[in-house]
């Protein structure tokens, strides 16, 4: 009789959790799949209440030694980075001994653009024995689909603004500056930099023109490592866009993440905004 072989159990999942609801949704998905997990909540960013039901510890960004020790103690072979984190200055980071060692391994990337830093961080975590995976590897249904979501469509003016926005977002991404912009009637009202999407939308609201409202465009940066920092749209993004007088949101299909799709669609339909997944290669 041939012996049967059983597949080895998957390693526990370590979640480095920033702000927003995405870390909790990831934990729910992993938990529902029967996977063990441990969450490192990043102090000053994570919503502690949202992760309270799972094993976790909240640490400051610079406490790398404690982070690595906890991830190893909980047998976390895979790591996923989720949620919003604003990069601190070196003086605010206050790295511990292990953190200083990792900063040394990151080298110049630690002070370069976000994409370069994240790529270097993925490499260093791999050297430390972990495998970095993407949010989409755990929460595949969060990947944005192609086409319209909800009841609201995009008219010719909106499509023209989306075309302009894709060109601008590509240029920003190539320079490793940001992932999005706000366009109204062909005018660039705002581009995303270190302040993040919400602050960009708020800034654009003060510059809006009369007539048809603007469009938010969010794309993956050209050449970006898709295991970290994918553009993310949530219900809050929809509410902020509506408050700023925007007409809709366009995002990269198969690249952006839609957090709680049903809530996003409901909020967009109520506000009269369109949600549109686009293939940037189809625009010129």
Give this prediction's pTM.
Answer: 0.84
pLDDT the model gives residue 1: 46
Closest CA relative to residue 220, chosen from 181, 260, 251, 182? 251
Q: Mark out the alpha helices in 4-82 (DSSP H runs).
A: 22-32, 64-73
Among the candidates 138, 159, 192, a domain finishes at 138
Q: Based on the fold, state whether residues 216 and 124 are members of the same structural domain.
A: no
67 assigned to some structural domain: yes
Q: How far is CA 33 from CA 10, 17, 26, 79, in A?
A: 11, 19, 11, 16
Among the candidates 116, 138, 160, a domain finishes at 138
2 assigned to some structural domain: no
Query: How many domains are there within the chain?
Result: 2
Residue 282, judged by CB atoms within 10 A of its CB (0-12, 13-18, 19+), counts as exposed
pLDDT the model gives residue 109: 57
265 assigned to some structural domain: yes
Low-confidence ranges of the chain (pLDDT < 50): 1-2, 4-5
Domain interval for residue 219: 143-282
**Strand residues in 168-233 grouped as ranges (E):** 180-184, 187-191, 215-218, 232-233
5 assigned to some structural domain: no
Q: Based on the fold, state whether residues 163 and 60 are members of the same structural domain.
A: no
Q: Based on the fold, state whether residues 112 and 78 are members of the same structural domain.
A: yes
Residue with tokens 């934990």: 27
Distance CA 216, CA 182 (A): 5
CATH number of the CATH domain containing 120? 3.40.50.20
Contact between 11 and 78 (Cβ < 8 Å)? yes
Distance CA 47, CA 67 (A): 18
Among the candidates 138, 160, 188, a domain finishes at 138
Q: Based on the fold, state whether residues 134 and 107 are members of the same structural domain.
A: yes
Contact between 245 and 209 (Cβ < 8 Å)? no
- The dihedral region occupied by 57, where left means phi > 0, alpha psi between -120 and 50, and beta the remainder, is beta
């Amino acid at each position: 009789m041939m012996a049967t072989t059983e597949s080895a159990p998957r390693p526990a999942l370590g979640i480095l959790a920033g702000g927003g609801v995405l870390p909790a949704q990831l934990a729910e998905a992993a938990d529902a799949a029967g996977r063990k997990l441990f969450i490192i909540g990043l102090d000053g960013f994570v919503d502690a209440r949202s992760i309270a039901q799972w094993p976790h510890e909240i640490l400051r960004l610079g406490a790398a030694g404690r982070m690595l020790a906890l991830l190893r103690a909980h047998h976390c072979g895979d790591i996923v980075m989720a949620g919003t984190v604003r990069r601190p200055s070196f003086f605010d980071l206050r790295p511990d001994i292990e953190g200083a060692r990792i900063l040394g391994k990151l080298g110049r990337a630690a002070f370069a653009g976000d994409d370069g830093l994240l790529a270097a961080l993925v490499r260093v975590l791999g050297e430390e024995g972990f495998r970095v995976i993407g949010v989409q590897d755990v929460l595949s249904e969060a990947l944005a689909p192609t086409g319209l979501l909800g009841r609201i469509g995009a008219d010719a003016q909106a499509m023209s603004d989306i075309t302009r926005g894709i060109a601008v977002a590509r240029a920003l991404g190539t320079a490793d500056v940001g992932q999005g912009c706000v366009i109204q009637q062909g005018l660039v009202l705002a581009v995303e930099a270190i302040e993040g999407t919400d602050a960009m939308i708020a800034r654009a609201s003060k510059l809006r023109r009369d007539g048809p409202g603007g469009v938010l465009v969010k794309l993956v940066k050209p050449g970006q490592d898709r295991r970290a920092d994918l553009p993310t749209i949530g219900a809050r993004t929809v509410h902020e866009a509506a408050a700023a007088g925007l007409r809709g949101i366009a995002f990269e299909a198969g690249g952006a993440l839609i957090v709680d799709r049903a809530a996003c669609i409901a909020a967009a339909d109520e506000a009269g905004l369109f949600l549109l997944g686009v293939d940037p290669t189809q625009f010129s």
